[in-house]
Chains A and B, each alone.
Chain A
Amino acid sequence: MVQTQNETRSITFVQAVNEGLSQEMERDNTVFLMGEDIAGGAGRDDKEDAWGGPFRLTKGLIKKFGPERVRDTPISEAGFMGAGVGAAATGLRPVVDLMFVGFIGVCGDQIFNNAAKMHYMFGGKLPMPLTIMTSIGAGTNAAAQHSETLYSTFAHFPGLKCVVPSDPYTAKGLHVAAIRDPDPVIIFNHKMLMGRGTTAEVNQGLSYGIHVPEDIYEIPIGKANIVKEGTDITLIGLGYTTLLCVQALEELENAGYSVEVIDLLSISPLDEEAILNSVTKTKKVVIVDEDYPRCSVATDISALVAEQAFDYLDAPPVRVTSPHASVPYSLPLEMAFLPTKERVISAAASLLE
């Protein structure tokens, strides 16, 4: 993550993903994309690229690389996810777009039983350089099937790597790293971050989100980023919740506390070292995670800290998560469902007081 503070090239999360995909496709002609409406208007020459994906992540790529490498699929998640597994096993580097993470219900077999296990089951003899990108997150009034986070479910499976970008800089670098990785990697892009630029709140003196280099680069999978060093308390976020942690940090600092924020970036492999180093220093930790709390990333980290750093802690770890309930449609309920900056601050305050 080398960057100099005086350089600024500010692009949106969506542009950053698009640029990363495009540059890696230029560099490596075994990389290709598959998914529903990733170009749109399929088969109609004059309407090619009608959508570029529902979030426009792949806009313009069919014009650069053609329909052989930017393949619109029928609505057949099991079919095209399985085709991604097969192509990855036989010399290509497919990037498969799963429009919403909830659609895992349709193609879970291909990911959990095939992509995750084939390398291991076959004695390490089969490569699986598959990349899956998907959208996650509530806050858009899209109800229970289109608003989940669910990365914890994927991280549960040995064999899958799971990464969660938190801003345009990490989005580009993680997409590139995922494609180059020899193992299956799932990238979870939060809907509330897509379309979001390097906004003011992430710009204020912090070591990320400031600049997205034009040149291609990788962000190492399995490494967390220390967004801000501090000594009184550790806030751990991932994806959108990193933004909440950063927002909370500003207020807590104004109140006179020294706050450390960790952006996980990867949840499998998990950077246990970064977490434990921080927590043994600050002695207090709040883990902020939008996923359901049962068997989740937040719960896993809480266990890690309790088991490995118990003697250092001033207080038990605190989790700020969604409740154990499906995502509701009605706006007031959805707002109550989501972790917020206020809840992070109040959880932190309960430890600091």
Chain B
Amino acid sequence: METAKQKLDETTLKSMFKTMVLIRKFEEQCKREADSGKLRGMHSSVGQEAVPTGICAHLKDGDYVLGTHRSHHHCIARGVDVSEMMAELLGRSTGTNKGKGGTMHIADITKGMLGANGVVGSNIPVATGAALSAKMRNTDNVSVVFFGDGASNQGALHEAMNLASIWKLPVIFVCENNRYAESTPSEYSIAGGSVADRASGYDMPGITVDGQSAVEMWEVSAEAVDRARAGNGPTLIEAMTYRYEGHFGADDTSQYRDSEEEEYYRDRDCIKRLREHLLEQELATEKELVDIEKTAESEIESASQFANQSPFPEIGELYSDVYTSYPHQKLVETGIVDEVLND
């Protein structure tokens, strides 16, 4: 941790605030879309905005980000278009994935967002491969993979950390510890209690950070990203955070956690704290912040409008993209495809 500390300037802070507000407004809009029946459930990232925002602020073109089933915040922090994301969530042809992937699988390759992933831990080795590729192609690009406390118990993480370490790959493993794997508390499922401590077994730095602080997240990430870019290998960051909502839309959190605990974390809300920080340090005026919030709101409004007005995919899309190249008649040989297409 003794490298030269980068300075967190006013512009970056405001830009992070804007990103976090945009994420929150996006998730709130998702909830409204779900309430109106257009979206059949999703995994909300509200409460966890600071984690990807702090680290993605250090990324440049060509860097990679990989996510989880709960990845709207990763996508937005990486700059994926919110209109295309909303369209994807509503299953429209204008969505990031043409409506074929939905909430758990948003990807935007042009932005280096290599995809959210519905299988816990599944993306961690993939991120390691993207880092391997960045290194073998002699770029200084890095790969950032987000995963939860639940995924920290998957073998895939351990195999990938070992590989990344022996090959000194430019990957940053970011454990977003929101304390619950679905309904299972992390104090039950994680032996020893710390994910970050596991890094020492793989000869890489393991850092625990307050994931509800955008500033701390930014600072810790600065070192990890620098280290990766400089060719010095991977870092494991354990960001302590909290999801305010249930595991998915209909999940009632009171079944497995107390409201006092929820209030404690809501009190140290990452957006609220960054807002206070900006005002206290006189880095922004109240009016500036309100403007940012209003702009985000209208951006989300038009995203929703765009999504709702977009068409559903043509039924024939069911059979496109299965392969890049494959004789079509092989796909229709059961005779069912044509029948559906003719409907």
Contacts and interface: CB of A to CB of B under 8 A. Distances in A.
Interface string A66-77: 000000111111
A40 B184 contact: yes
A323 B120 contact: no
A40 B255 contact: yes
Interface string A147-190: 00000000000000000000000000000000000000000000
Contact of B104 (A44, A143, A321, A328): A143
Contacts of A352: none
Contacts of B335: 318
Interface string A307-333: 000000000001111011110111111
Nearest to A143: B102
A74 B153 contact: yes
B334 interface: yes
Interface in B165-196: 181-185, 187-190
Contacts of B256: 40-41, 44, 47, 50-51
Given A41-B255, A47-B255, A337 B102 contact: no
Nearest to A147: B118
Given A325-B322, A329-B91, A74 B184 contact: yes
A146 interface: yes
A293 B156 CA distance: 30
Given A75-B151, A324-B322, A343-B336, A146 B100 contact: no
A145 B119 contact: yes
B165 to A, nearest CB: 21
A328 B40 contact: no
A78 B155 CA distance: 7
B101 A75 contact: no
Interface string B143-159: 00000001101111000
Contacts, number: 172
A144 B101 contact: yes
B188 A333 contact: no
A321 B336 contact: yes
A43 B187 contact: yes
B8 interface: no
A332 B98 CA distance: 13
Most buried by A among B40, B41, B105, B155: B155
Contacts of B120: 75, 106
Contact of A51 (B40, B182, B322, B332): B182
A231 B66 CA distance: 56
Contacts of B330: 324
Interface residues on A, range: 35 or more
A103 B185 contact: no
Interface in A60-102: 72-79, 102
B156 A106 contact: yes
B119 A51 contact: no
Contacts of B40: 140-141
Nearest to B255: A50
Contacts of A79: 153, 155
Nearest to A293: B334
B118 A146 contact: yes
Nearest to B319: A325
Contacts of A41: 183-185, 255-257
Interface string A16-53: 00000000000000000000110011111001001100
A40 B182 contact: yes
Given A76-B153, A141-B40, A336-B318, A330 B122 contact: no
A313 to B, nearest CB: 17
A88 to B, nearest CB: 20
13 contacts: A40-B183, A44-B188, A75-B121, A75-B189, A141-B91, A143-B102, A144-B118, A145-B104, A145-B117, A319-B336, A324-B322, A326-B322, A329-B105
**In the complex, the 8 A-B pairs of residues with the closest C-beta atoms, listed nearest first:** A329-B102, A330-B91, A43-B188, A330-B99, A41-B256, A40-B183, A74-B153, A50-B256
Given A74-B181, A102-B119, A332-B313, 19 more contacts: A36-B184, A41-B183, A50-B255, A73-B189, A75-B154, A75-B181, A140-B40, A142-B102, A144-B101, A145-B105, A145-B118, A318-B335, A324-B322, A324-B330, A324-B331, A325-B318, A328-B99, A330-B91, A333-B317
